[in-house]
Amino acid sequence: MAYTKLKNSLKTQMMRMTLIPLIIMTVVIVAVSASVIHKTIVDSTHEELIRDAKLAVKFFDDEYAGDFWAEDSDGDGEYEMYKGNQQLNGEYTVIDDVAEMLDIDISIFYDDKRLLTTLKDASGQRAIGTSAAVVVRKDVLEEGQSHFYNNVLVYDNKSFAYYEPLRDENGQIYGMIAVGRTQGEVFKEIAKNMWPIVTACIVIALLIGVIMVGYNRRLGNRIIRMDKYMNTLSSGEFDAEIPRELMVEDDELKRLATDGRKMARAIKNLVEYDALTQLNNRRYGDKKLEDIRVRAVEMGVKYCICIADIDFFKKVNDTYGHEMGDIVLKAVADKLKAGMMGKGIAARWGGEEFLLIFENRELDIARRELSIIMDDIRTIYVPDTDRQITMSFGLTAMIPGESTDESLKRADENLYEAKETGRNQIICK
């Protein structure tokens, strides 16, 4: 029986069961780690911007005395920004130095108008006079609350920003200070922190994957070998050796292979041996005849075959009973088995008939050896009687190229002649 490869073998299933959960686990760990790091850095950015806003105000307080205030002195709609008595418009040294030191953007608003800022457009122009978003005005100026935003759009760049209201000496809100960092900068920091984790996860996953795939491949190969071995046994090759791979580990596969061999031997005894005489049966004899026919043609090995029959066996059964007949059959089988030892095989052909196959023998040599066996059979007597057991033999040589049926027919004709001409003899043609 040819070995058929399965579409969904255990080896394939084991590989899927190993790799799919491992990939899912790696993706989940990376995703959770990314989420945790993202939240941590965003929270950290929030805290840093609060601190930076306070530091920026402190720097201005240290540099200039008084409060922030603004006025449109010439009525042209452009406000001048002051800190105490010092006009700040056009003087960006302090605010630029603070922004560079803290690595942030800083804007100071009068009401909701940006009058002092480090923000610049693509052409390098500062965002002077631009207004804060409506939501910022409501949260900071109207409600008087500091607020952190993680998605502020500035010149098409999304940023993290913290707004804090500015109050005069009477506690009235007249503007606000805003500090911010672009999302790109923050995400670069997130990526910088993520890469070691992603790399570690991938390396560990690959390492675990290699180990598990290697183990599962080895186990899968053993399962395949087990499947092939059982397939070999099921095809009738009961003497097949257990593959070495199945015996290296003291596990269930080794036990299954060992049990399979025991089962094969038990089946072999059932299908190839006669239960009564313990000789090979006719099924095995037919198989053996076909094997030697091929060998005779391919290798030129000489074989002789013989059909033997117990003389007057029916009378033994009729006179002494079938149980006594079974005893006689076993005694004859023992003599035949011993006589054929090293010469070939003896098989029960059916009833009281037996098949003898002489291997690598010329016809005259096979006849001499058969004569010894016949003399040994004559020593058998029905127990507790003086009735001697004899046999008749039809012997012939196999001719290369002829069928087994032709050889058997000639041996059977010789047996018939031995029976018809007095029994207890060998006819050899």
Report the 3 state secondary structure along 356-391: EEEECCCHHHHHHHHHHHHHHHCCCECCCCCCECCE
Q: Which of 271, 295, 324 is the last residue of a domain?
A: 271
- Residue 212 neighbours by CB under 8 Å, 6+ apart: 18, 22
% of the chain surpassing 70 pLDDT: 95
106 SS3 class? strand
- Are 119 and 127 in contact, with CB atoms under 8 Å apart? yes
Q: Does 266 share its domain with 278? A: no
Whether residue 262 is found in the same domain as residue 171? no
Which residues touch 344 (CB under 8 Å, ≥6 apart)?
303, 356, 357, 358, 359, 361
Length of the chain, in residues = 429
Q: Is residue 85 part of a domain?
A: yes
List pLDDT tens digits, range 43-73: 888 888 889 888 888 888 888 887 877 787 7
Per DSSP, 141 falls in state I
How far, rounded to the nearest angstrom, does the alpha carbon of residue 224 sit from its chain's CA centroid? 12
Query: What is the rounded distance in angstroms from the CA atom of residue 410 to the CA atom of residue 365?
Result: 18
In a shared domain, residues 305 and 397:
yes
Within a domain: 122? yes
DSSP assignment, residue 280? B
* 24 and 103 share one domain: yes
In a domain, 338, yes or no: yes
The predicted model gives 261-285 an average pLDDT of 84
Do 59 and 176 fall within a single domain? yes
177 and 85 within one domain? yes
Place of tokens 């009401």: 111
- Across residues 17-33, what is the average pLDDT? 80
The residue annotated as part of the active site, out of 48, 164, 272, 352, is 352
Are 256 and 319 part of one and the same domain?
Answer: no
CA–CA distance, 412 with 408 (Å, rounded to integer): 6
- Determine contact, residues 166/176, Cβ cutoff 8 Å: yes
How far is residue 263 from each of residues 222, 255, 260, measured CA to CA in Å?
20, 12, 5
Q: Where residue 43 sits, what CATH number does that domain have?
A: 3.30.450.20
Clarify whether residues 156 and 267 are in a common domain. no
Task: Give the model's confidence band at 206: pLDDT under 50 very low, under 70 low, under 90 confident, else very high.
Answer: confident
pLDDT 10s digits, 307-356? 999 999 999 999 999 999 999 999 999 999 999 999 999 999 999 999 99
Residue 352 falls in the annotated catalytic set:
yes
Same domain, 164 and 49: yes
Which pLDDT score, from 0 to 100, does residue 8 have?
61
Give the span between the Cα atoms of 369 and 406, in whole angstroms: 23
In CATH, what number is assigned to the domain containing residue 358? Answer: 3.30.70.270
Residues with Cβ within 8 Å of 407's Cβ and at least 6 positions away in sequence, in order, are 289, 293, 305, 396, 398, 399
Within-domain flag for 39: yes
Residue 398 contacts residue 293 (beta carbons within 8 Å): yes
* Residue 322 included in any domain: yes
pLDDT digits (tens, 9 = 90+) for 230-251: 787 777 777 778 787 778 788 7
CB 304 within 8 A of CB 398: yes
Rounded CA separation 220/281 (Å): 39
Do 148 and 278 share a structural domain? no
CB 83 within 8 A of CB 64: yes
Q: What is the pTM of this model?
A: 0.51
224 domain residue, yes or no: no
Structural domain contains residue 5? no
Work out the average pLDDT over 370-374.
96
Considering the chain, what is the average pLDDT of its residues? 85
Whether residue 305 is contained in a domain is answered as yes
Q: How many domains does the chain have?
A: 3
Give the residue numbers spanning the domain of 374. 273-428
